[in-house]
Amino acid sequence: MVCMMDITLFSRVYSVRRLSETDVPDILALCGKNRMYYRYCPPFVSEQSIRDDMNALPTGKEVADKYYVGYYDGGKLIAVLDLILAYPDKETAFIGFFMMDVSVQGKGIGSGIIGELCAYLAGNGFARVRLGWVRGNPQAEHFWHKNGFAETGAVYKTERYAVIAAQREL
């Protein structure tokens, strides 16, 4: 399995690059318009929560396995993806966060991005992609079902919401 990914190959349609501190205002602008998401998954986004997400790693993972990336259409940030490779096991890639700019939603672009990503991961030896959505969030649940993700049966409870685990075999 290839451990270092070429993120420019995540998409043939959009430019993909790592996001960093200077991108925080653009990420905040994209996320802040997705009000439904934060109703189910509080607290509401802030510059600090974005910085925290940029640096967050599951237990046992290293920075090298984390891909906090932006998808650009021309100069415009249209999607943010947080991908952790080889988590929770070697053959699994984990999507920690995926969000589209509201202005381009409902046009099949999110599904296209996930389809291309899954194809790239499959080509690099991964067997499945795992993720979670907040129980009751219809947008997230329908989107992931539409994209071939099925509940694993695991539910992770936090103080404020429950997370439904799901995965797609590649």
Ligand X SMILES: CC(C)(COP(=O)(O)OP(=O)(O)OC[C@H]1O[C@@H](n2cnc3c(N)ncnc32)[C@H](O)[C@@H]1OP(=O)(O)O)[C@@H](O)C(=O)NCCC(=O)NCCS
| Site residues for ligand X per CB under 6 A | 34, 37, 98-100, 105-111, 133, 138-140, 142-143, 146
**Min CB(52)–ligand X separation in Å:** 17
**Min CB(79)–ligand X separation in Å:** 7
Q: Which two tokens stand for residue 108?
A: 């099949």
Return the exposure string of 124-135: e unless at least 16 CB atoms fall within 10 Å of the residue's CB, then b: bebebbbbbbbe
**Min CB(105)–ligand X separation in Å:** 3
C-beta of 71 vs 126, nearer to ligand X:
71
Q: Contact at 8 Å (CB) between 98 and 110?
A: yes
Q: Pairing between strand 76-84 and 66-73?
A: antiparallel
C-beta of 83 vs 140, nearer to ligand X:
140
**Min CB(145)–ligand X separation in Å:** 7
C-beta of 55 vs 139, nearer to ligand X:
139
Q: Reduce the secondary structure of 7-37 to three states and give it as a string.
A: HHHCCCCCEEEECCHHHHHHHHHHHHCCHHH
C-beta of 1 vs 13, nearer to ligand X:
13
**Min CB(115)–ligand X separation in Å:** 9
Q: Which two tokens stand for residue 29?
A: 């602008």
C-beta of 105 vs 124, nearer to ligand X:
105
